[in-house]
Structure 1
Amino acid sequence: MKRSGILNRHLAGALAELGHTDEVLVCDAGMPIPAGPRVVDLAFRAGVPSFAEVLDGLLEELVVEGAVAACEVRDANPAAAALLAGLPGLRLVPHEELKLRSRDARLVVRTGEAAPYANVLLRCGVFF
């Protein structure tokens, strides 16, 4: 049994399969999930787990070289915007563009977040 880190076996396994430039969509409960990518649905109840909790856990496990989020997050969800601001290479695009780009994600991690625009597309980097 793992001692620490992500304990969900489906999520831990999916993360281990990611490589350089693969993309991971971390999304709120309302984000449309495209057909194609592997999905690990962590949503339990509205707000559980939160976008912040899941993003923090993923950032402890992944090397991230870039990120894309919806520009609407700045006005509609300042708390999520503050979390995203520290991501390397963050680009803000219209929400409709983010939804289109998410079709190319290798993995979707759905949270229980019930606040708007709590979504980000992370691009994996390398540790060396």
Structure 2
Amino acid sequence: MKYQKLLNSELSRVIARQGHMDELTLGDAGLPVPDAVSRIDLAVIPGLPGLLDVLDAVLSELTIEGVLLAEELKDQSPDFHAALCARLDALSEQSGQAVTRNYVSHGQFKERTRRSKAVIRTGEVTPFANIVLISGVAF
């Protein structure tokens, strides 16, 4: 059995394979997954698991240097956006390295998921609650 927090074997596999600047998407329950991209489906019921919980688990083993978010998240789901930004700020403070944030339209976001090594589907039902994680290096 693994010693680290993350127990899901599919998540562990995709994280272990990430290289510098590789992308990994965490999506809400409705985010379409391109056919050519691996899908890790964690959704159980609406809201379970939540995207922020899955993000915390993924970030326990993945180093990131940036994220991509949909511009619409700021206006359509401001509380979720604030909670997400607080987690990213805490991560930056803890690691001593800034995590850059870039915003694009939701349409551009969906197109960008084609570059991801995998899309992790959560049970999140908050509008536009999706994030592309851009891998960093741990040294």
Fold similarity call, TM over 0.5: yes
Pick from 116, 121, 129 the counterpart of residue 105 of structure 1. 116
Rounded Cα–Cα distance in structure 2 between residues aligned with 1:61 and 1:119 = 19
Q: Is 2:129 aligned against 1:118?
A: yes
Which position in structure 1 is the counterpart of 2:21? 21
Secondary structure of 1:97's match?
Answer: helix
Tell me the equivalent position of 1:127.
138
Equivalent-residue separation in structure 2 for 1:13 and 1:108 (angstroms)? 13
CA distance in 1, matches of 2:68, 2:48: 23
Partners of 1:127 and 1:64 lie apart in 2 by: 9
SS at match of 1:91: strand
1:25 deviates by 0.5
Q: TM-score, normalised by structure 1?
A: 0.94
How high is the sequence identity, in percent, across the aligned residues? 41
Deviates more, 1:72-81 or 1:24-33: 72-81
Distance 2:62 2:101 in 1: 16
Alignment of 1:1-128 (within 5 A): 1-86=1-86, 87=88, 88-128=99-139
Question: After TM superposition, which residue ranges in structure 1, 4 or more long, deviate above 3 angstroms?
Answer: none
| TM-score between both structures, scaled by the size of structure 2 | 0.87
One-letter identity of the residue aligned with 1:105: S
- Structure 1: tracts of 5 or more residues without a match: none
CA RMSD of aligned residues (A): 1.2
Cα distance per residue 1:14-62 (max 9 Å; x no partner): 1111111110000000111112122111001110000110011111211
Question: Equivalents in 1 of 2:80, 2:26: separation in Å?
Answer: 12
Contact kept in structure 2, 1:84 and 1:90, CA below 8 Å = no
**Structure 2 unmatched ranges of 5 or more:** 89-98
Kindly indicate whether the alpha-carbon contact (under 8 Å) linking 2:28 and 2:121 is maintained by their aligned counterparts in 1.
Answer: yes
Partner of 2:96: none
